[in-house]
Amino acid sequence: MDLPTALQILDSMIRLGTPLLLACLAGLFSERAGIFDIGLEGKMLSAAFLSAAVAFVTGSVWLGVLAGLVAALMMSAIHGLASITFRGNQLISGVAINFLASGLTVLLGQYWFALGGRTPSLEGAARFQPITLPFAQELREVPVLGLIYAELISGHTALVYLAFALVPLSWWLLYRTRFGLRLRAVGENPAAVDTAGVSVVGIRYAAVAICGLLTGLAGAYLACGLSAGFVKEMTAGRGYIALAALIFAKWRPWQALAATMLFGLLEAVANRYQSLDLWGVPLPVQFMQALPYILTVVILAGFVGKAIPPRAGGQPYVKER
């Protein structure tokens, strides 16, 4: 494999791994606070639909992103209300959000645009445009490093760079701030946090809100950056893959970056090589397309027992009288 081909695959890895990274960080904040969120898929889907719809109507991709954030925050509010306030089963609440988003996006899409549940194609200012970093063209002729800078690092959309910037920011927020300490403590021992006079409910709602913002960005990127509009079920299981990556990463930001890029790499390879010969045995297209999902099953089977989740995860907190 030559360098240009490798860079093309890595470039696709970054683009395809970005929504997984945002969704994985979203789940990290929520689950670190003790709120399991199976509903990442539904939040991304609702954000993708509303961001594409508003971007098409207004012609502004940033208004579309804002609408996507609102949609994901509304879904997060439902999940928070069911899981925190009413102390319902968090897994059932997340599954319900997935079903709600799946049906509602198609229903509203057909009602608004009459295109079978999808939105019209986005063009111009209604979708994200690639950003050329300074000196990218000038450095292109520099052997290896210049080509890496011009082809791999430069040329992505704003949300890609934001997603990568959020990794160290998330690490700093979780491990170097008082809020992060309290959030992690709520996921491990909420009674101790409550005894210290900190609102467990408030911290958990804040974590759920951060989860909503990040899944909103992931959905907006899917519809307005990676694609040029919304199509039915366009998340294609990415929310569940992000959960698998989160377990693989053991609920840590830097490991989440590596795990999601691994999934992105598999999807990029599957898209690049529709069929491969492995020791003389041809692999069908369907196998290549299923690679990310196969890895999801392998990771869950191999690491779910070794990765220790937050001790209070999935448990509603009942304040002692």
Q: Does the pLDDT of residue 304 top 60, yes or no?
A: no
- Please give the angle made by the CA atoms of 227, 233 and 237, to the nearest 5 degrees: 95
For the chain, what is the domain count? 1
What are the CA-CA distances from residue 208 to residues 17, 59, 137, 216, 278 (Å)?
Answer: 22, 30, 42, 12, 45
Q: Does residue 200 belong to any structural domain of this protein?
A: yes
Write out the H or E segment, with its range, that includes residue 276.
strand 276-278
Return the DSSP state at 151.
Answer: I
The mean of the pLDDT values for the chain is 91
Write out the H or E segment, with its range, that includes residue 127.
none
Q: How confident is the model at residue 298 (pLDDT cuts 50, 70, 90)?
A: confident
Q: Does residue 33 belong to any structural domain of this protein?
A: yes
Q: Does residue 204 belong to any structural domain of this protein?
A: yes
Q: Does residue 259 belong to any structural domain of this protein?
A: no
Q: Does the pLDDT of residue 310 top 70, yes or no?
A: yes
**Tokens coding 238:** 């990415």
Q: Does residue 90 belong to any structural domain of this protein?
A: yes
Return the DSSP state at 35.
Answer: -
Cβ count within 10 A of residue 41: 28
- Is pTM beyond 0.85? Reply is yes
Q: Does residue 178 belong to any structural domain of this protein?
A: yes
Cβ count within 10 A of residue 70: 17
Nearest Cα residue to 227 out of 47, 44, 15? 15
Domain containing residue 73 = 3-235
